[in-house]
Structure 1
Amino acid sequence: MKPIAALLVLAGLSTAAPSPNVVQDEQAKRAVWPNGPFVTSGRWILDATGKNLTYAGTNWPGHNDVMIPEGLQYQSIETIVQKVKSLGMNAVRLTFAIQMIDEIYSNGGQDITIQRAFVQALGQANGTRVLNQVLAKNPRFNASTTRLQVFDAVAEELAKQQIYVHLDNHISKGMWCCSGTDGNTWWGDTYFSTANWVRGLSYMAEHGKSWRALVSIGLRNEPREPTNNQALSRSAYNWQSWYGYMRQGADAVHKSNPDLLIFLSGMNYDTTLTPVVQGTALTPGSGRFSFGDFPGYANKLVLELHNYENSIGNCNTLQNNLYRNGFQALTSSATNKFPVMMTEFGFQMDDRTWRGVYASCLASYLPAQKAGWFIWVLSGSYYIRSGTQDFEESWGLLNHDWSAWRSPSYVNGALLGMVKNTLS
């Protein structure tokens, strides 16, 4: 029998070590933005080259009644993304509703047009008027463009400008979120079908394979108690049930798109994940969180928390609350270490509020922890919110027509520095 080396030579293959140029070429391929897929290691997220990274970004809603990313009647997708990029941000949390996927399935696998989406949500006259405004600002679209094609275009432009997409299942029924009585609170609530949720996550994870910028997905925004459904609250609103649902959603995402990081959100409007971090019992049962319950993708899990303690009077108190509620996972004292991101925080965009304890404390705390974040919210206005069309968003980074910053003093006085300090 000929030696292996001789066989390789006869086959025209070399046994020599790769040349330095070949190695550099392979490294360059791996280093092409976004340098994915990402994985976690303890408290860190690592790109494909092993470099630590985190997110500094904003929320761009697409989950409300129309179920199309907001603002396109006022500005082009390119202009809006340029605004985000000008802040130095590297990520956008793009929200969607499960209802959008439900309607695709009920429509024979075809998404509905943006013309139909606007008319359904805003009425014939106003829907047609806003549609025409969208088409004027975004001439690549027409009345037959579908909602998902708009999402595709947003993701494409974010990739062009090298901004990561974090996709977020914000709600089941497309509407403004959140309250304890909106029917979207917890698995089994009026509009919150577990089966449809799993199907929707799978669908969007699979669809997102074509989005170069997509690197992560949040399983559910702000799980909360169904305050108008005491039977559901008593039977299922607990950590034991939460864990089962999170495992179910995470499995569905990973099977559909194994490249994605998967964000786990906590209870009580995603303000606490303490038993997960501390490894205590997931009540009312005695089970505990285990990375082993996520076989093959334990290194894809990230924790997300929200915080809106706007009236807090002491920064130390806020920091202690954040540590206790989940940011402890970034430290050596945690039983279970994770990357932790604050995927929502926000406040009035005026010349005063950002100077207060809450906003200024987060502006220093989050970068110091190298904890990722998404400020709520980019939107200067909404197509419709809670029944009011062309709703003014006073918390929006952008003004009503999405043309300029609502609070230039905040952007220049705090936000630009917060981004820079987080990513440096």
Structure 2
Amino acid sequence: MKIVSMFLALASLTQAAPSHQNQYQNDLSNRQAGSWPFGPFVTSAGKIRDTTGKNIVYAGTNWPGHGEVMIPEGLQYQSIEYIVTKIKSIGMNAIRLTFAIEMIDQIYANNGQDITIQRAFTQALGQANGTRILNQVLAKNPQFTASTTRLQVFDAVAAELARQQIYVHLDNHISKGMWCCSGTDGNTWWGDTYFNTANWVRGLSYMANHGRNWAGLVSIGLRNEPREPTNNNALRSSSYNWQSLYNFHKQGASAISKANPALLIFLSGINYDTTVAPFFDGSTLSPGNTRFSLSDFPGYANKLVLEVHNYETGINSCSSLQYNLFNKGFKAMTSEAKIQFPVLLTEFGFAMDANTWRGTYATCLASYLPSQKAGWTIWVLAGSYYVREGIQDYDEGWGLLTRDWREWRSQGYVDGLFRGMVRNSLAG
């Protein structure tokens, strides 16, 4: 595992000597420019382009690492190498790797030191179950020990993804490590119970900086699914609006650009990120008179990407689904938009059973997204979670993988629709 050791060493060196940031960034940029992933990526109107001028399309899935343990899921069942090889086997080229701000908060509270995976598992799962799951993780991933830290696990995942040439898109999924999302979970909006704005900015900066030595890290998302705080009337009335979202996005984007100028920065919308229309259609960002302006992102306006989510699983009209996707997001990729952006559907999904994939929702997306040359990451890779909503070893019925992360949960979907969707998205 020489590549893992190299990345772990680089990560430690980075934390020890942050004053060398610019030199490290220059070295990394030089390495990327002449070899995969041919970065840093930039945007041009509705396209993402690498240093060779090639248009880049993401065709991938979500790998959660934002739950209570705050470690990428599934490692008690399979090795990192096995999971990444499984992803690669159908041609996927991108992973949306999620994290919680709480992980960085704990590092700062611990004098700058991350906690061990032994502590992470026992804190989240209890002494007995935490120890048992830890031992399973170590058996499947013998490069780790009980004293390995959480970020070293993230480093190892990123290293293996790079070895198999799969892009990493980091996603700030939540503040407090837990299942996401609801209107009452305390993570809804800036200023909510667990959503401290300063800590969020600090966390984005920390992870952007930490990922400088991940060869395959090409982008980062500001925040997953901003949404209405339904149990916090004061917060909802004071700032749940497009004008405030824009101001928060400017703060987060600025922090990321300063920490790691190579990264693309994904901007999300309100109402669980189901629309980003006011960012591209020239309308005022209510309740004020501000409009989106690329000049508000000086020096990195060509790093901005929009992301949307869609879970209209019960829809029975493909044309209606396409209409919604276009007007709420993908119009930004066309000349009809006041400001053009690349747009990705970073979450969509459905039950991985024998028949759901044959319905309108899945089949429509499988044709529409490749036709638009639009990037996407399906929710979710995970066949199970260490813990979800209080249930340990939670079986994820929407997971691409089975509970033990070994096989495809719906082989019919993978062979009948999904492989073609990946292939068609990446063609040309």
Q: TM-score scaled by structure 1?
A: 0.93
Instruction: Tell me the residue number matched to 1:169.
Output: 172
Pairwise mapping of residues 206-225 of structure 1 onto structure 2 (< 5 A)? 206-225=209-228
Aligned mates of 1:58, 1:65 — CA distance in 2: 21
Deviation of 1:379 after TM superposition, in Å, equals 0.4
In structure 1, C-alpha distance between the alignment counterparts of 2:89 and 2:235, rounded to whole Å: 46
Q: How does 1:140-179 map to 2 (within 5 A)?
A: 140-179=143-182
Cα 1:28/1:141, change in 2 over 3 Å: closer
The answer to whether 1:113 aligns with 2:116 is: yes
For the 8 Å contact 2:32–2:215, the answer to whether it is kept is no
Give the whole-Å Cα distance in 2 for the aligned partners of 1:32 and 1:362.
Answer: 32
Q: Flag the 1:28–1:257 CA change in 2: closer, same or farther, 3 A.
A: closer
* Residues 103, 28 of structure 1: alpha-carbon distance in 2 compared, 3 angstrom cutoff: closer
1:205 aligns with 2:208: yes
Structure-1 residue corresponding to 2:287: 284
Counterpart Cα distance in 1 of 2:300 and 2:161: 26
Determine whether 1:410 maps to 2:413.
yes
For residues 31 and 376 of structure 1, what CA distance do their matches in structure 2 show? 32
1:202 Cα offset (Å): 0.3
| SS of match in other structure, 2:211 | helix
1:315 counterpart residue number = 318
Candidates 32, 37, 40, aligned match of 2:43: 40
* Unpaired stretches in structure 1, ≥5 consecutive residues: 1-26
Aligned with 1:245: secondary structure? helix
Q: Counterparts of 1:253 and 1:421 in 2: how far apart (Å)?
A: 32
Q: Give per-residue Cα distances to partners, 1:155-174, cap 9 Å, x unaligned.
A: 00000000000000000000
CA RMSD after TM alignment: 1.0
Cα distance in 2, alignment partners of residues 277 and 28 from structure 1? 34
Aligned to 2:350: 347
Q: Residue 49 in 1 paired to residue 52 in 2?
A: yes
Q: CA offsets per residue over residues 125-167 of structure 1, 9 Å max, x none?
A: 0000000000000000000000000000000000000000000
Given that residues 318 and 360 in structure 2 are in contact (C-alpha distance below 8 angstroms), is that contact kept between their aligned partners in structure 1? yes
1:320–1:114 distance in 2 versus 1, CA, 3 Å = same
Q: Distance in 2 between matches of 1:29 and 1:123?
A: 42
Alpha-carbon shift at residue 29 of structure 1 (Å): 7.7
The amino acid that maps onto 1:311 is G
Secondary structure, in 3 states, of the residue corresponding to 2:115? coil
Cα 1:51–1:141, aligned 2, differ >3 Å: closer, same or farther? same
In the TM superposition, what is the alpha-carbon distance from 1:28 to its structure 2 partner?
A: 10
- Partner Cα distance (2:318, 2:79) in 1: 39
Partner of 2:83: 80
The answer on whether the counterparts of 2:373 and 2:425 sit within 8 Å (CA) in structure 1 is yes
Shift of 1:46: 0.5
Corresponding letter in the other structure for 1:403: R
**SS, match of residue 316 in structure 1:** helix
Q: Quick one: which amino acid aligns to residue 239 of structure 1?
A: W
Tell me if structure 1 keeps the 8 A contact 2:32–2:40: no
1:91 and 2:89 aligned: no
Q: 1:399 to 1:29 in 2, by over 3 A?
A: closer
Larger Rg: 1
Aligned length, in residue pairs: 398
Which residue in the other structure is 1:5 paired with?
none
Aligned to 1:19: none
Match of 2:233 in 1: 230
Please give the alpha-carbon distance, in whole angstroms, between the structure 2 residues aligned to 1:107 and 1:157.
Answer: 28
**2:399 matched to 1:396?**
yes
Q: Distance in 2 between matches of 1:54 and 1:247?
A: 25
The separation in 2 between residues aligned to 1:189 and 1:101, in whole angstroms, is: 18
Of 262, 265, 269 in structure 1, the residue corresponding to residue 268 of structure 2 is 265
Shift of 1:30: 3.3
Q: Give the Cα–Cα distance (whole angstroms) in 2 for the partners of residues 247 and 72 of structure 1.
A: 36
| Residue 104 (structure 2) aligns with | 101
Partner of 1:137: 140
What TM-score do the two structures reach when normalised by structure 2? 0.92
Identical positions, percent: 72
Distance 1:112 1:29 in 2: 31
Q: Which of 199, 205, 209 is the equivalent residue of 1:196? A: 199
Distance 1:358 1:30 in 2: 38
After TM superposition, the structure 1 = structure 2 runs for residues 11-22 of structure 1, keeping only pairs within 5 Å, are none
The amino acid across from 2:327 in the alignment is R
Quote the residue 1:11 is aligned against: none
**C-alpha distance in 2 between matches for 1:221 and 1:200:** 14
* Paired position in structure 1 for 2:372: 369
Q: Partners of 2:118 and 2:367 in 1: how far apart?
A: 44
For 1:33 and 1:233, locate their aligned partners in 2 and report how far apart those are by CA, in whole Å. Answer: 44
Q: State the Cα distance separating 1:119 from its structure 2 match.
A: 0.2
Does 2:341 match 1:335? no
Q: Which residue number in structure 1 is paired with residue 27 of structure 2?
A: none
1:297 equivalent to 2:300? Answer yes
1:114–1:314 CA distance, 2 compared to 1 (3 A): same
Q: Please report how far the alpha carbon of residue 31 of structure 1 lies from its aligned counterpart in structure 2 after TM superposition.
A: 3.8
Aligned to 1:357: 360
CA distances 1:68-88 after superposition (whole Å, capped 9, x unpaired): 000000000000000000010
Residue 253 of structure 1: how far off its partner (Å): 0.1
- After superposition, the C-alpha distances for 1:222-275 in whole angstroms (9 at most, x for unaligned) are 000000001100000000000000000000000000000000011000001111
Indicate the SS of the match to 1:53. coil
CA distance in 1, matches of 2:49, 2:143: 36
Partner SS state of residue 306, structure 2: strand
Q: CA deviation at 1:56?
A: 0.2
Aligned equivalents of 2:347, 2:297: Cα separation in 1: 26
Q: Work out the CA distance in 1 between the residues paired with 2:32 and 2:218.
A: 17
Tell me the distance in 2 between the aligned counterparts of 1:132 and 1:34.
Answer: 35
For 1:255, which of 244, 253, 258 is the aligned residue? 258
CA apart distance, 1:324: 1.2
